[in-house]
Structure formats: C-alpha cells, structure tokens
Amino acid sequence: MSNNLLQVDKLNTKIFHGDYTVDAVCDLSLELKEKEILAIIGESGCGKTMSMLSIANLIPQNAKVVSGQIIFNSKKLNISDEKELQDIRGSQISYVFQDATASLNPIFTIGEQIKEMFIAHNCFSPNKAKESASKVLELVNLKPAQKYYNYYPHQLSGGMNQKAMIAIAVASKPKLLIADEPTNSLDRITEITILKLLKKLNAEFNLSIILITHNISLIENFADTIAIMYAGRIMEKGLSQEILHSPKHPYTKALLDCLPKKGKELNAIKGSVPNLAKLPSGCKFHPRCPYVMEKCLKDEPDFVKISQEHSVKCYLQ
C-alpha cells in the first residue's frame, strides 16, 4: 500500500470571467509522503497558489475544480462535495497565506485567535484552550507566551505575525501544512527563522509541508522534493538535490541561472510569464525557450518519467 499522504491525479481548475474562461490549473498530478516537504516553485503567475488552493478547497467563487482526483490520508475526496472538503481542510489541512498581517484578525489578540482554533477544532474548554494556545506560542518561539498572548497583530513585526499564523495553522494538529510564500517581504534572517521553524514542526510532529515559493534559492536543505510550475502545469518534479544539481527542463535551468553567483552578472529569464487566458500553442514555455524546435510550437509534450523519482515535460529528454 502506498504511504502517500496526498495523491493528486490530473486535477483541472478553471476560472470563469464572464465571457471567457481561464485554465488556471492543468492536469496537476503530484504525490506527497507523510513527513515529506515539497516545494512548489515558479515565477509569480505560474499557477502555484491556485493549484494549492484547489487542493485545500479555498478557490475563489468564480473558480471550479472541474476534473481530477484527490486522495488524502487514504481517502478519496469527492471534489464536488463542498462539506467533506471543508471538514478535511479545517482539521487535517492547514493553509498559511503569504500576508500574515492581513490574514490575522486585527481586533483579537494573537493568543485569543489561537485559543479559538483549539475550541473550534479540538472542542477544548476555554481554560484548556488558553493553556494550549500558550504552549503553541512557545513552540513557534513567541516567548514568553504570556507576553505575546496579549499582543494584537499591529504590535508585532511581519515575521512575528507569520509565526502567529503558523501557530494558528498547527493548533488543529493538521497532517498537511500548505505555506504560501510565507517568507515573502521578510528580511533574509527572518526568512531563515521561519523556514527553520517549519522544519522543526516537520521533524517534531511528522507534519507534511508544501511550500509555495518563487525563490528557488530558499529550498536547498529544506525541501525533500521539488515541483517546478509554469502556466498552470508542472514542468519538472523530483528529488530536490537532483533537480537543483541536475535540472532537465529549460525552465528549471533558467530559474537556476537567475540565482546570484559571485563575480557574474545577474541573469533574468527573457520574456514574461504568459497570460493564462492567452496561452501559446504547443509547449507553453516555447516563446522563452532557447532550445525551441518546430514540434514545440505545435504539440505540448507529455510529462515523462526519466527515473523513478524524476519527471519532465519537455521533448529534450
């Protein structure tokens, strides 16, 4: 039997904009084992967030998961059963959004917001919920807990609010935490602190994590596996060390080429991310690809396994 916590097969999400429709997520397939950390990487506008919102059933009202299958914790989820998906999301899948300060409720203290999670999801009494909230504050290094319990979001820095969001997210003891650009707009030191905190939660609680990021430099030594997304599709996925040190897809290579290197000029990928409403024909990366061939213009390549753990969506394999 598979030890996957999450298995997604050919998931498709559309966004409806009155007179036109956007294929925001196209044939998304991925697996996540228990305790695995997967990083979803790509430039802004590549469909990373919409893919994960589709899994967590948090898509906007004008979007719909139209086909595909999600198996979570050995249970096949009915993607059209709103209630079932909501129950799973509330108790077993937690989502941390990128703007923590905007996600927290400004009129309640951090402690009260965590306490509410314990009452709602664990049916704790108010006293037990308060005690548990204090323990979670300690866990995410907001110490001393008595002090931070009574702070309002506006009294904390962006990094501290992100820790508070993570505390709220783990209060329901989820099996999967999806963290959407949790270090966006934080300085480098705070960024590392947040990643260390996620790694600690992963190790101590066997928590599986999906980290969405546009910053490929962040994930070495953090993620076990990587999926590279472009135009709502996964272009390459595999073990992180393999992808980082032996990338196969031209888009992955281009992302890695953009990392700052000592003594070298900073590179940028030519062109821009395509508008999902006006995708190019054939391979969606072809307008930016230095290796484009005739057939790339007409037909989209399949997603092909090149080893047990490594798959690529490109003709050049």
Binding residues vs ligand SF4 (CB under 6 A):
250, 283, 285-286, 289, 291-293, 296, 301, 314-316
Closest distance to ligand SF4 from the beta carbon of 122 (Å): 48
Least Cβ distance, residue 297 to ligand SF4 (angstroms):
8
Interhelix angle 126-139/110-122, nearest 10 degrees: 120
Hey, what are 317's tokens?
A: 């394999």
Alpha carbon 160 to its chain centroid, in Å, reads 20
Instruction: Please identify, using beta-carbon distances, which residue of 259 and 293 lies nearer to ligand SF4.
Output: 293
The rounded distance, in Å, linking the Cα atoms of 167 and 146 is: 15
Q: Please, what is the Cα angle at 153 between 125 and 55, to 5 degrees?
A: 75
Distances (CA, A) of 132 to 138, 146, 204: 10, 12, 17
Q: Identity (one letter) of the amino acid at 110?
A: I
- In whole angstroms, what is the distance from residue 306 CA to residue 317 CA? 8
Angle at 67 between CA 233 and CA 174, to 5 degrees: 80
Name the residue nearer to ligand SF4 (CB basis): 72 or 285. 285
155 versus 275: smaller Cβ distance to ligand SF4: 275
Between residues 277 and 316, which has the closer beta carbon with respect to ligand SF4? 316
Tokens of 89: 């999301």
Q: What residue type is 251 in one-letter code?
A: Y
Choice between 203 and 316, CB closer to ligand SF4: 316
The distance of closest approach from Cβ of residue 315 to ligand SF4 in the complex, given in angstroms and rounded to an integer, is 4
The angle formed by the CA atoms of residues 66, 69 and 74, to the nearest 5 degrees, is 150
If the CB atoms of residues 214 and 253 are measured against ligand SF4, the closer one turns out to be: 253
> Least distance from C-beta 273 to ligand SF4, angstroms?
14
Q: How far is the CB of 233 from ligand SF4 (least distance, A)?
A: 11
Rounded to the nearest whole angstrom, what is the least distance from the CB of residue 255 to ligand SF4 in the complex? 13
